[in-house]
Amino acid sequence: MATAGLYRRLLPCPPAVEFASSQGKKLFLESIQNGTMEGFYKLVSYFQTQSEPAFCGLASLSMVLNALAIDPGRKWKGSWRWFDESMLDCCEPLETVKARGITFGKLVCLAHCAGAKVEAFHASHSSIDDFRKYVIKCSMSDDCYVISSYHRAALKQTGIGHFSPIGGYHVRRDMALILDVARFKYPPHWIPLKLLWEGMNYVDEDTGQSRGFMLVSRPHREPGLLYTLSCKHESWINIAKFLMDDVPLLLKSEDAKDIHQVISIIVASLPSNFEEFIKWISEIRRREDGGPSLSAEEKARLAIKEEVLKQVQETGLFKHVASFLASSCSRQASGDGDTLPFIAASVCCQGAEILGGKPSSSGYCCRETCMKCWKAEDDKPITMVSGTVVNGNTEQGVDVLIPSSSGKLCCICSKSKYIRVHPASTDVLTVLLLSLPSTTWAGITDEQLLTEIHGLVSIENLPTLLQEEVLHLRHQLHLLKRCQEGKVDEDLGAPLS
């Protein structure tokens, strides 16, 4: 019997002009001469076909992330780190995307989670002139790309909502080059910008919002350089809700009189597993890949991490947090679980999982760790923990580069044998408090205490590196909260105060 199926679709021309047609080639050459195809070359180098009928958003984003050379920080297959649709799952389960596709707002969330800088606009909140301006800007460079979310009906194509990146622009004809990721259906094609804009003004029935476009680019530095929020941790929804909703209510209901009490109110109510929600990011490498020397890239990253850590420990808030934990020693994070050997063993296991491309349930355990210190060529001391990680009958050597501060710190708990110069719970809790929105503290009734709190947590009072770190975490927290509330599509441009 014959098998029913579809083999491509005939591209409606007009309004489209097929890229490979003689007219399409002419538009391409004229755009090259006009300088509005500069972004095309890298983008087409990573052009891919969506692997599922509803994966157009994931395919578009992974294509753009690879073109921007953003390191995913984890492996795809074999030994290769590479963005693939299957890795874009931190804001929506892949099975849900496979069945229903993904909304514009959640794709924006994914881009942020993947480490990109994103500016996103619903068509109803923008204009065709602004859209054209951004398309021209990205077409004339190779450091930003536009992903468009549009309804195919406006282009006289079959289907409904769709995502694809824009590969270039023809000035005289006012046409955009759509690198359609559904290559099994339509080839790349030029389309009048006006029609594409009309397609973006269709309302998405799932969100009640118009479709739109996003500008995706590399951040000027890697996001979350020392700290990050885990949007893949199973309890992130409850923890994000606690931090954004419950903490302000707790502070409003309790009559705190000093900073110690404010910290106590928050810490006493923190979910027991909150330390899984915010983590510090370590540098890992296979032992055979390294040695007692660092590459220029490793040195640069480690130096910035150490400066961020130093800036955290120099804040007034850190001193209050350290004092509180020293007086209470009530949380496990302030005990031996916070010592460098304990953390290093854990990180070595995580490193082996990442380097091996295995899930966290794969049974890695750290057989032994040892701490090494040596001086780099510039006489700067370097701290590295080496661990031997075992998984079944195989073992692997993993090195972890540890950022440290030059300041002398006292132990948080007297029972601990180790001086904590690495990122520990004191630093993490300090950064978490700094990352809470400014409205968190509004319920404090004592005016003098409120003034003191604002002086401690004000973004404006922080050094630049720490300011960027805190703003990144605050941005993550807001995005997670919006995802939890299902408001990410309607609040794309909401301020991160």
Top-confidence residue, 40 or 447:
40
Q: Which of 56, 90, 113, 231 is catalytic?
A: 56
- Nearest C-alpha neighbor of 160 from the set 93, 103, 96, 89: 103
At 125-134, the pLDDT tens digits run 899 999 999 9
Choice among 20-24, 378-382, 493-497 with the minimum mean pLDDT: 493-497
| 89 is annotated as an active-site residue | no
Q: Is residue 482 within 8 Å of 235, Cβ to Cβ?
A: no
Tokens standing for residue 190: 């030029």
Residue 156 pLDDT exceeds 50: yes
Give the architecture (CATH level 2) of 17-217. Answer: Alpha-Beta Complex (3.90)
Q: Using the 8-state DSSP alphabet, how is residue 338 labeled?
A: G
Q: Using the 8-state DSSP alphabet, how is residue 441 labeled?
A: G
Tokens standing for residue 180: 């359609």
State the chain's mean pLDDT as an integer.
77
331 band by pLDDT with thresholds 50, 70 and 90? very low
Pairing verdict, β 209-210 and 175-178: unpaired
CA pair distance 279, 429, nearest whole angstrom: 10
Q: Which of 112, 122, 151, 162 is catalytic?
A: 162
| 162 is annotated as an active-site residue | yes
Q: What is the pLDDT of residue 187?
A: 94
Residue 431 pLDDT exceeds 80: yes
| 56 is annotated as an active-site residue | yes
At 110-120, the pLDDT tens digits run 888 787 888 89
- What is the biggest distance separating any 2 CA atoms in the chain, rounded to whole angstroms? 82
- Nearest C-alpha neighbor of 239 from the set 262, 265, 272, 261: 272
CA pair distance 217, 233, nearest whole angstrom: 26
Mean pLDDT value across residues 184-188: 94
Q: What is the pLDDT of residue 334?
A: 39
- Which stretch, 65-74, 140-149, 309-318, 407-416, has highest mean pLDDT? 140-149
Q: Is residue 39 within 8 Å of 84, Cβ to Cβ?
A: no
Residue 215 pLDDT exceeds 80: yes
Q: Which of 180, 338, 399, 427 is catalytic?
A: 180
Q: What is the pLDDT of residue 253?
A: 82
Residue-range domain boundaries for the chain = 17-217, 227-485
Q: What is the pLDDT of residue 205?
A: 86
Residue 413 pLDDT exceeds 70: no
Q: Is residue 319 within 8 Å of 313, Cβ to Cβ?
A: no
Choice among 138-152, 283-297, 399-413, 452-466 with the minimum mean pLDDT: 399-413
* 375 CB neighbour count, 10 Å cutoff: 10
- Find the DSSP H helices in 329-445: 340-356, 425-435
